[in-house]
Amino acid sequence: MTDQLLERALVEEATKKSGLIWVRGLPVQGDAVSSQALWHVWHDGSVCLVGDGPGEQPLPGLVDGGGAVVTVRSKDKGGRLVSWSAKVVELTPGSEEWDAAVAELKGKRLNAPDGEAMPERWGRECRVLRLAPTGETASLPDGSLAAPPVSTAATTRQAIPAGLPRLLFKKRKRG
């Protein structure tokens, strides 16, 4: 019983203090979903997220009634602190739960394009999800979970021309 209380306290405190969590939706049809870094708020004993709308974070693999695994990192060291299982619940726009979650999310949303009209847009175009802890925590892996980068057409910067530093840093003659 004491271990369960300590685990629940660790989940709550670590998630509250972290501005970013890693969330992986559990596959419903066998489709593998990778972890996604998401901003969130901790409200009423669970994580609240908003996304899947224009200008908002994507929420791949998170379906109403499904499951998810949430990994929380340490704010000071950046290492994994705890991974916990959650049940995904999509909140209905206009419901009491939705209004309370949106009030919290609105205060944390940075650089919103529409300011005070944001809750109305979220109700029309986005999904607001609640990730409720199931009480299960996973043991942390020993190795790295780093994945290879996604292939892209973007390139890295080329080496600078050899003569450029001389042009930039040559002394100007005073006349």
- What angle separates helix 118-125 from helix 96-108, to the nearest 10 degrees? 120
For the entire predicted model, the pTM comes to 0.78
User: What pLDDT, on the 0 to 100 scale, is given for residue 32?
Assistant: 61
What is the average per-residue pLDDT within 64-77?
A: 90
Reported confidence tier of residue 69, pLDDT bands at 50, 70, 90? very high
Q: Determine the Cα–Cα distance for residues 160 and 42; give it in Å rounded to an integer.
A: 47
Is residue 175 scored above 60 in pLDDT?
Answer: no
pLDDT in tens, 29-49: 666 677 899 999 999 999 999
Is residue 86 scored above 90 in pLDDT?
Answer: yes
Close Cβ partners of 146 (under 8 Å, ≥ 6 residues apart): none
Q: Which of 37-41, 160-164, 170-174 has the highest mean pLDDT?
A: 37-41
Is residue 154 scored above 90 in pLDDT?
Answer: no
Is residue 21 scored above 90 in pLDDT?
Answer: yes
Give the residue, 34 or 54, on which the prediction is more confident: 54
pLDDT in tens, 94-141: 999 999 999 999 988 888 778 888 999 999 999 999 999 998 998 877
Is residue 147 scored above 60 in pLDDT?
Answer: yes
Q: Tell me if 14 sits within 8 A of 72, measured CB to CB.
A: yes
Is residue 171 scored above 80 in pLDDT?
Answer: no
User: What pLDDT, on the 0 to 100 scale, is given for residue 162?
Assistant: 82
User: What pLDDT, on the 0 to 100 scale, is given for residue 2?
Assistant: 82
Tell me which residue of 111, 99, 127 sits closest to 43, measured CA to CA.
Answer: 99
Say how far residue 170 (Cα) sits from the centre of its chain: 47
Average per-residue pLDDT for the chain: 87
The class that CATH gives domain 2-140 is mainly beta
